[in-house]
Copies of this chain bind each other. A is one copy, B any other.
Amino acid sequence: MSKENDTADLIIVANGAFPASDRCRAMLSCAGTIVCCDGAADKLTAAGFEPDLIIGDMDSLSVAKRTKWANKMIRIEDQNSNDLSKAVHYCASIGHKNAVILGATGLREDHTLGNISLMLTYLPLMKVSIESDYGSFFPVYSNKAVACSPGEQISIFSMDNRIKVSASGLKYPLDGLRLSHWYTASLNETTGEFFSLQFESDTPLLVYRALIP
């Protein structure tokens, strides 16, 4: 993972599986600001950290917790967006430009899929990555070279099943490969110090970088 992510200024904690790894704990320890989506605040404190802000409809918090955290709570009622989106929009509105999202995956699989795809809608507002105990999702724009180490496990996903992608610096060739299914460009491997992707779309691809087990 990049040095940048390991010292995130802003971490937003969604209410999926709370990360248990030393890597994610270190990220929380170094964060400038920790914003929790509603019930994720309980998981954060159980892990020994304190939220700076809690955003959502607060349905998941006990009355005692609501009292304790009254001055940290930002209540946003909006049936059309989930708590993670509310948190990202609020943080963007107060000036944040970058965020690492933890707890976006795990538990209910439809929340996992939704949160991953929502990442791309945040990009006009804020540069985000999703980090978990198992890996990292980040957006890649066409023709961008990404620094890496040789042998990293990489998967590439698109919201658009018509997009054709070419790549250099990966073990398995992508030469105008149409990403018709989510598995189509998954489980690849970096071969050198960087890889780059070429494709024609206004929407970035999502790259997943697996952590070495």
CB-CB under 8 A from A115, the residues of chain B are: 183
Cβ contact within 8 Å between A159 and B182: yes
Known contacts: A181-B121, A181-B159. The answer to whether A135 contacts B114 by CB under 8 A is no
Cβ contact within 8 Å between A182 and B116: yes
A209's nearest neighbour on chain B, judged by CB, is B110
Cβ contact within 8 Å between B159 and A180: yes
CB-CB under 8 A from A107, the residues of chain B are: 134
User: Is the C-beta of A140 less than 8 angstroms from some C-beta in chain B?
Assistant: no
Shortest A57–chain B CB gap in Å is 14
A-B contact pairs, 19 of them (CB 8 A): A105-B109, A105-B112, A108-B135, A108-B210, A109-B208, A110-B135, A110-B155, A110-B157, A110-B187, A110-B210, A112-B112, A113-B208, A114-B182, A116-B182, A118-B181, A118-B183, A121-B181, A161-B162, A162-B162
How far is A210 from B121 in the complex, measured between Cα atoms in Å? Answer: 24
Q: Which of B108, B117, B134, B186 contacts A181 (CB 8 A)?
A: B117
> How many copies of this chain?
2
How far is A112 from B208 in the complex, measured between Cα atoms in Å? Answer: 12
User: Is the C-beta of A132 less than 8 angstroms from some C-beta in chain B?
Assistant: yes
Q: How large is the interface on A (under 10, 10 to 19, 20 to 34, 35 or more residues)?
A: 35 or more
Cβ contact within 8 Å between B114 and A155: yes
Known contacts: A134-B107, A187-B82, A210-B108. The answer to whether A113 contacts B160 by CB under 8 A is no
The residues of A with any CB-CB pair to B shorter than 8 Å are 82, 105-118, 120-121, 132, 134-135, 137, 153, 155, 157, 159-162, 180-183, 186-187, 208, 210
Shortest A109–chain B CB gap in Å is 5
Cβ contact within 8 Å between B183 and A113: yes
Shortest A9–chain B CB gap in Å is 24
CB-CB under 8 A from A161, the residues of chain B are: 159-162
